[in-house]
Amino acid sequence: MSKDLLECLNGEHKDQVSPLAALKFIFERHISNLDNWAINTKVLIIFHRGMQNIKVNRKIYKDLKAKEHLLHPYCSGKKDSATYNVKMYTEISKAYSNYVKFYVNIANKTDILSKAMTKISDDVRLLKTSEILKHYEYFEALVTQIFAQFQHANFCRQNRLFSNLIFMLFKDLIKVYKVYYVHITEILERFAGLEHEEMQKAFVMY
């Protein structure tokens, strides 16, 4: 079921269902299963994979931003909510849900994350210096968010579903570091022509 949803979200069955129609269905499934940590996590991972797919990610970013208020984490409604595992499910789900929202907000502020890795360098060269400096702030915050997700890495390694979550975050980290590196390289090449205030910010970046 998850594979079929992901394929629809990736636009592989556009003749049958559009990515946005698939996204609507996934949201409905998400809202109706907030008390199921496994389904909740699976749905967030499906959203995350859609965000990483350069074929459809722009549409995904836009629609997830519009429905941000529906990206709820897992919430146990059972009496066993005080057990260690349930507490961990709740903490991890809350952190992951917040991360997805944060990523979506960054992705709607800059188009760089929607690009293929091979095109990032060329696109950054076309940016204004002010945009590069602002992007640095975005991606520094995003890296901080990613590392915050790893605080429960040992627990996640014991669970296949949460291991997939960590893998998705690792993929994000690789791309963000690539973006980060390209921005720093570009601003250093422009360093001699920067204003004093821009030089100070560039030095902080470096």
User: What does the pLDDT read at residue 59?
Assistant: 84
**DSSP structural state of residue 130:** H
For the four alpha carbons of 52, 53, 55 and 57, in that order, the dihedral sign comes to negative
DSSP, res 34: T
The pTM score is 0.86
Whole-angstrom distance, CA of residue 198 vs CA of residue 87: 45
Secondary structure of residue 12 in the 3-state scheme: coil
**DSSP letter assigned to residue 159:** S
| Res 89: pLDDT | 92
Residue with tokens 């929607």: 114
Per-residue pLDDT of the chain (206 residues; tens, 9 = 90+): 445 556 666 666 666 667 677 778 888 888 998 999 999 999 999 899 889 988 888 888 998 999 999 999 998 876 666 788 889 999 999 999 999 999 999 999 988 888 888 888 888 888 888 888 888 889 889 999 999 999 898 898 899 999 999 999 999 999 998 888 888 888 888 888 888 888 887 777 76
pLDDT at 1: 46
Hey, what long-range contacts does 193-198 have (CB within 8 A, 24 or more apart)?
A: 194/129, 198/129, 198/130, 198/133
The CA distances from residue 186 to 110, 114, 130, 174, in Å, are: 17, 19, 12, 18
Distances (CA, A) of 113 to 8, 47, 61, 97, 118: 21, 15, 10, 19, 12
The residue ranges of DSSP E strands in the chain, in sequence order, are none
Cα-to-chain-centroid distance, residue 147:
13
**Does residue 96 contact residue 41 with C-beta atoms inside 8 Å?**
yes
pLDDT on residue 4: 58
